[in-house]
Amino acid sequence: MTAGGQRWAAGLYSDHQIAERFSDETLFASFSRFEQALVNGLAKAGLVAAADAADLTRQIAAFEPDTAAITETGIRDGVPVPEYVRQLRVHVSGPAKPMLHHGATSQDLMDTATIEALASVNLVLSERLHGLLDQLSGLSARCGGNELQAITRMQPAITFHASDRIATWRQPLMALRDRLFALQEENRVLQFGGAVGDLQALGDNAEIVARSIASELGLRWPGHSWHSARGPVLAQANFMSELTGTLGKIGQDVALMALRGSDDIRMSGGGSSSAMPHKQNPVTAERLVTLARFNATLVSGMHQAQLHEMERSGAAWMLEWMLLPQMCETAGASLLAAFALIESIEKMGKSA
C-alpha cells in the first residue's frame, strides 16, 4: 500500500508479505494453474486427447508472460487476461492448441486468482492472530492481577483487574480466529462460468470440467458461477474490517490509558515530538486506530462493488481490485502493529 506516493509513510501502513499475495507474478502463476487445470478437465471430458493435454499443460507451465505488455494493454482491455491469453496462444503449439482457454472467460481467471490470493492471505493472518492471542495471554499472566480503574462513558466507574480489560481485547480475537478458519473453508470456491456465466460452450461436459478444475486447484465447485454474486469477496472484506476494528479498539484503549498515566500503563518506546522533547507519543496505538478507520471506510466501497449490472460489471469489478488488496494489507499491518504494541507494555495497572 502506498500513501499518495509518500515513501516515508510506507512503514506505517504497508505489509510486504501480504502485498506479495497480490503481485503480478502471483497473479500470472494463478492464471497458469487455471489454464493447465482447464486443459486437464477438457481431457477428462474427452474433448482433448490425454497425450495432447499433457503436452499442452507442459507448455503452459513453461510460459513466461510479457508483463510490460500486459500492463500496457490492461489500460485498453480493463483486465490482464486477454493479453495473457493472446501471448499464451502464440507460445503453445500442437493438436490441443485450439482448445486453450476453451469455455473460460477473463472473470474465471481473475476471480479464481483472487480466491487463491485470499487463501494465502488468510494463512498469514491466522498465524499472526494465534501469536497475538498467545501474547495477550502472557500479558494477562504477568499483569492480570493488578488493579485498574474501569472507565464507562469516559467517566471513572469502579476498579477491576487488568485481566478484565485484557479479556475484552482477547475474547473478540478468539472469536475471529475461529471464524477465520470457517472463512478459509467457505471461500475456497472456484469461479467458472464462461462467457455469460452458464458454461454453455461446454454443453453437457460443463460439470465434469468444472469439478476437475476445482479438484486440481484444491477448491470447491459450488455447481454454478458467481460472476455477479460477490458473496466470497464481501465475506472477506467484512472480516478484514471487523478484525482491524477489534485491533483498533485495543489501540484506542492503550492510547487513553497512556493519557491517564503510569497507574494505568507503562510502555517502552513511543514516538517523539519535534516541539516537546518530554513527550512519548503512543504512535503504535494510534496506528491501530487509523488502520481500523481506514478499513471501515474501504468496506463500504466493497459493498458498492457488490452491485453488478446484468451478468458482469467492469466498473464494479475494478473497484474490487482497488479495495480488497488494500483491506488485506491493512489487516496484516494491524496485526503486526498490535503485536508490537503489546510487546511494548512493561506494566499494566497498579499492584494490588
pLDDT in tens, 261-293: 888 899 886 543 333 344 467 789 999 999 999
- How many domains, in total, are found in the chain? 1
Per the CB < 8 A criterion, the answer to whether 244 and 291 are in contact is: yes
DSSP assignment string, 34-61: HHHHHHHHHHHTTSS-HHHHHHHHHHHH
Q: What residues contact residue 271 under an 8 Å CB cut-off, 6+ apart? A: 280, 281, 282, 283
Instruction: Write down the pLDDT at residue 317.
Output: 87
Compute the average pLDDT of residues 328-342.
96
Return the number of other C-beta atoms located less than 10 Å from residue 340's C-beta.
13
- Give the position of cell 507494555: 345
5 lies in a domain? no
11 lies in a domain? no
**DSSP H or E run through 213:** helix 206-217
**What is the average pLDDT value for the chain, to the nearest integer?**
91
Q: Tell me the one-letter amino acid at 126.
A: S
23 lies in a domain? yes
Distance (Å, whole) CA 182 – CA 198: 28
What percent of the chain shows pLDDT beyond 90? Answer: 78
2 lies in a domain? no
Domain that holds residue 102: 16-348
Stated pTM of the model: 0.91
119 lies in a domain? yes
- Give the position of cell 477473463: 106
91 lies in a domain? yes
In sequence order, the β-bridge partners of residue 325 are: none
Instruction: Write down the pLDDT at residue 275.
Output: 35
**Cell triple for residue 26?**
502471483
Instruction: Write down the pLDDT at residue 274.
Output: 33
- Residue closest to 209 by CA, chosen among 110, 104, 115: 104
* 49-53, 182-186, 331-335: range with lowest mean pLDDT: 182-186
CA 46, 47, 51, 56 dihedral sign is: negative
**Cell triple for residue 60?**
503452459
64-82 pLDDT, tens digit each: 999 999 999 988 888 999 9
- Residue closest to 45 by CA, chosen among 225, 202, 217: 202
7 lies in a domain? no
9 lies in a domain? no
The CA dihedral of 124, 172, 152, 137, to the nearest 10 degrees, is -70
**Cell triple for residue 142?**
504477568
User: Domain with 286 in it: what CATH number?
Assistant: 1.20.200.10
Distance (Å, whole) CA 332 – CA 295: 11
- What phi and psi values does residue 8 have, to the nearest 5 degrees? -65, -30
